[in-house]
Amino acid sequence: MNNGNILVGYENEDIREIIVMMLESEFDYSVKEVNSGQVAISELKEDELLKVLISDIQLKDICGEQVYLANRDHKNLPFVFITKQDLSGVSELSRFNDDNKNNAKLDMPFDHEEFIEVISKALLSLSTHDSSDMAAIPLSQGSKYYRIKIKRFLKFKKAFSNTYIKLSEDKYIKVLNIDELVEHEKFERYLTKGLEFLYLDKQQFNDYLDNRVNALMDKLDQKNLESSEAVSLHLESLQQVQEVAMSVGVKKQIIDLADKLTGNVIDTIKKNKNLKDFLSPTSSGMGYQFEHSNLVNYLVCGIANHLSSLSTDITGQKLIQASIFCDIGLPEDRLMQIISMASDKYIALPQEQKKLVQQHMQEGAKAIGNTNHPMADEIERIILAHHELPDGAGFPKGLTNQQIPLLSAAFILAYNFANQIIMGGKKSNIQIDKIFSAMGASYSQGNFASPYKALKDALK
Ligand SMILES: [Fe+2]
């Protein structure tokens, strides 16, 4: 039964998906999503079942304020802004809190519980004293389960809580134990059978997130770790940050953990004279994604430490944050390994995967851009350019070594060098010189020249 609709107007697809996921998890309402303000306005005028609107200030075509005014002058339904912008000076919104007592504004990054509370209150304010009132109470309130769409669950490599399929109102069947690996094929079969949701043991899942983040935070406070201990800790932290970011979104908790990881990496590399010690363990078994990001982190630190114009901790932080989030728009290691659109790997991809590769820079940039990270703008710029190449053959813009700024050049060098190390397999340690000579022809020119020299110095 459809208890009503909730409309989410948000241009950023990642954030929109997180908002929709949270609503789907908690309420038995249909959730409609749009990226255009014009479409949002026609929906609010035509959809008789619409109950609540959620919007950003910035939409694809017109501003969220316009959608808000159209709603106020139509049915004046509860309206929730989720945005990082300050709304205090916006004249169209001067009576926002008085127009409807259930209007609300949440700052990005927003708090999950606060968001659910605001929406529940708004839905209850429309009470019709029928069965839909029950649906306005968050499902997780009093429930043991956290509902998640299968397609989002598939972003996990491991189950972090017991996982169930719902058979009826009070019957759930366990399909996966906590800590078991997620067999993607099995869950894809459920999808093709029309099953949409899985249910996680809510307590276990929340405990898992909290415990993992807190434990890693504590560990990252440790100084003077042996290089192998530091590498394991960095890999583990990266896995946590990236898996959560890719499945349930970039939450505040995750930004805090990424910051802590960044600080620890910078500190570790500064204290250790030999950067080479950090390049060998490419056989952690954790896969390309985490090993590659981790290597990029070490290499950018090495470059920054040997290049006076980049040698501040702030520069290191920007480069590492870019490395953490640049590829979170890609679902598979295989796609992350593609460096050039001229490569056989890229050419062999089906059209929709080519599109993912072409667009993943925007996805990564948006994920960080929508947080309150103080360096978000510059990190976004690095992420957007991370597949440019010094010879102009990169994407999306085909910039040349003169057009790519120094900071991006340092990042691109580290990103592609790390790729070469991992693709070279276990022997790569002794092949560092070979990688330098293979890359030297194009990477020792223009704005790449000084980062290239700095990396050579760092790996002497
Ligand atoms: Fe990438």
What percent of the chain stands above pLDDT 70? 92
Q: How far is the CA of 39 from the centre of ligand 1 (A)?
A: 32
Q: Encoding tokens for residue 389?
A: 């190449």
pLDDT of 208 above 90: no
What is the pLDDT of the chain when averaged over all its residues? 87
Highest mean pLDDT among 244-258, 262-276, 291-305: 291-305
Q: How far is the CA of 333 from the centre of ligand 1 (A)?
A: 10
Region 188-197: mean pLDDT is 80
pLDDT of 141 above 70: no
Q: How far is the CA of 144 from the centre of ligand 1 (A)?
A: 38
Location of each CATH 1.10.3210.10 domain in the chain: 221-458
Q: How far is the CA of 349 from the centre of ligand 1 (A)?
A: 15
Q: How many Å from the N-terminal Cα to the C-terminal Cα in the chain?
A: 67
274-287 pLDDT, tens digit each: 888 888 645 666 78
pTM over 0.85: no
Helix axes 288-305, 227-247, angle to 10 degrees: 120
5-135, CATH topology level: Rossmann fold (3.40.50)
Q: How far is the CA of 376 from the centre of ligand 1 (A)?
A: 18
Q: How far is the CA of 335 from the centre of ligand 1 (A)?
A: 8
Among residues 404, 378, 382, which one has the least CA distance to residue 393? 404
Q: How far is the CA of 384 from the centre of ligand 1 (A)?
A: 9
Neighbours of 402 (CB within 10 A): 11
389-440 pLDDT, tens digit each: 999 999 999 999 999 999 999 999 999 999 999 888 765 556 888 999 999 9
Q: Is 353 exposed, middle or buried (0-12, 13-18, 19+ CB in 10 A)?
A: middle
Q: How far is the CA of 394 from the centre of ligand 1 (A)?
A: 11
- Cβ 392 vs Cβ 398: under 8 Å: yes
Location of each CATH 3.40.50.2300 domain in the chain: 5-135
Convert the chain into a string of H (helix), E (strand) and C (coil): CCCCEEEEECCCHHHHHHHHHHHHHHCCCEEEEECCHHHHHHHHHHCCCEEEEEECCECCCCEHHHHHHHHHCCCCCCEEEEECCCCCCCHHHCCHHHHCCCCEEEECCCCHHHHHHHHHHHHHHCCCCCCHHHHCCCCCCCCCEEEEEHHHHCCCCECCCCEEEEEECCEEEEEECCCCECCHHHHHHHHHCCCCEEEEEHHHHHHHHHHHHHHHHHHHCCCCCCHHHHHHHHHHHHHHHHHHHHHCCCCHHHHHHHHHHHHHHHHHHHHCCCHHHHCCCCCCCCCHHHHHHHHHHHHHHHHHHCCHHHCCHHHHHHHHHHHHHCCCCCCCHHHHCCCCCCCHHHHCCCHHHHHHHHHHHHHHHHHHHCCCCCCHHHHHHHHHCCCCCCCCCCCCCCCCCCCCCHHHHHHHHHHHHHHHHHHCHHHHHHHHHHHHHHHHHHHCCHHHHHHHHHHHHHCC
Distance of alpha carbon 356 from alpha carbon 343, whole angstroms: 16
| Domain 221-458 bears CATH identifier 3.30.750.24 | no
29-81 pLDDT, tens digit each: 889 999 999 999 999 999 999 999 999 999 999 999 999 999 999 999 999 99
> Ligand 1 is a single-atom ion; what residues have CB below 5 A from it?
327
What pLDDT score does 405 carry? 96
Q: How far is the CA of 294 from the centre of ligand 1 (A)?
A: 14
